[in-house]
Chains A and B, each alone.
Chain A
């Protein structure tokens, strides 16, 4: 029986490139997929595109393509396994990203490479046509006014399948649901019916397991003495070998670092899942509730039992909008009495923000090392007082000029605060917030653009 080998080359935009190159070289892959879009990445990319019409794609696209396209070229030689690339690194500008891929192919002397761009996820125009549409945070599209930056629907696998049917070597998309990037080569290779919900559910599980790259190979797992990960520094990225029924074994390249076992697979399966019986994607309502994992070799795990039911009638749309500014400052205290001095510093800053009338929608003042991650109640479970404590004050303000004052009031603790403050930092950043809504499927039209690299 034919099997398909799919590798995962990135779990987020800034991910490491070396493990992807290792997979491209030694993974004996049919497809290498790079998943690089977090919730608000497209909104940030859209801002870049507004400043420069050719920009708005992943900043590491060029570097990644330079490193892996030579293996795509190798796969086109006689007797070699053909390797193709799928990625959402197009972000807010898939067409421009595809041009960049063709340019790099030309630089590398790789001729005749077919590069496809998938567009249609950008639904900003459709959204403007329905100003009373309600977002999940309770406000209307109209109320965002000119703060509205972007609106992108999560596309499913079908546009990518169309590009693969057109023989693309590289498929560059904007917003596509993460597991759909991996489901597409399975649909293309095995020709599953559009309503074969069980197999599509299985293929979606494989996508979900692979989409965070190193998170299933031990890259988010090590807890020394409790859960050890061998050779973490040389962490390998995962690949899955899938059969025509959607049954799969997840593994990694021999000799790479990390570990894949039932424990790492279980953590990744539940990651970002709510009801395991209803994991919604544009392709299917996947059911992971009866999944089981079996170790079939060293760093080889078989996944069984995923199911599926009909896909949702609507597509999720991520809406990016400007939401004021966050000003922030930090300063550290150390040695005996550090905690009391940091607490005093916190009180002083909060009082000064009031005294000077800084206008903020929300203020947060926390002690890193004490209560920043889990709050004071859980933080008090610590058995010893920390040797060093770092004060962090952050506030969200409508105006940049107000936000700037937050960091200033922390930095000035140097000469206006408790003894021994050091390492102060301050900053201000614009908030690009993301909310969501649902659009009917027929309001979204995926479109494939295909060109040869000359």
Chain B
């Protein structure tokens, strides 16, 4: 089966609260939502961001919003102390969602 990039199927925005990020993934077309539910699992997103996540901060969580064809991923600890203390260039993690759009979907 051929694969395409998530960016062709969905758009995304990242928000921050403390040192937790949330990344929305919103299907452009309602008919693609189910594919995202099946393939964009917590396990896959955790593996994708493994280098950046802090396992001690707790697991990645996923919430489903079928009415708006969206998934919401919550990634604790990924902001390494949060926007006020982090040494990162992008302390808010605002660019994280754009990285996820490069993941492959079948």
Name A's B-contacting residues (CB within 8 A): 39-40, 136, 220-221, 223, 226-227, 262-263, 266-277, 288-293, 305, 323, 326, 362-364, 366, 368, 372-378, 381, 392, 394-396, 431-434, 436
Contact = CB atoms under 8 A, between A and B. Distances in A.
23 contacts: A39-B82, A39-B84, A40-B84, A263-B11, A270-B72, A271-B13, A271-B15, A271-B22, A274-B20, A274-B61, A275-B63, A277-B63, A289-B63, A291-B65, A378-B49, A381-B102, A395-B87, A396-B85, A396-B87, A431-B85, A432-B84, A433-B81, A436-B18
A267 B11 contact: yes
B96 A270 contact: no
B96 to A, nearest CB: 7
Contacts of A288: 65
Interface string B80-106: 011111011110000110010010000
A374 B49 CA distance: 8
Nearest to A365: B87
Interface residues of B, number: 40
Given A272-B15, A272-B16, A373-B89, A434 B70 contact: no
Q: Is the interface of A mostly helix, strand, loop or mixed?
A: mixed
B51 interface: yes
Contacts of B26: 263, 266-267, 270
Nearest to B15: A272
A179 to B, nearest CB: 14
B40 to A, nearest CB: 14
A272 B89 contact: no
A272 B17 contact: yes
A40 B86 CA distance: 13
B95 A276 contact: no
Given A39-B83, A263-B11, A273 B52 contact: no
Contacts of B88: 364, 366, 372
A374 B95 contact: yes
A373 B99 contact: yes
Given A273-B22, A373-B99, A378-B51, A394 B87 contact: yes
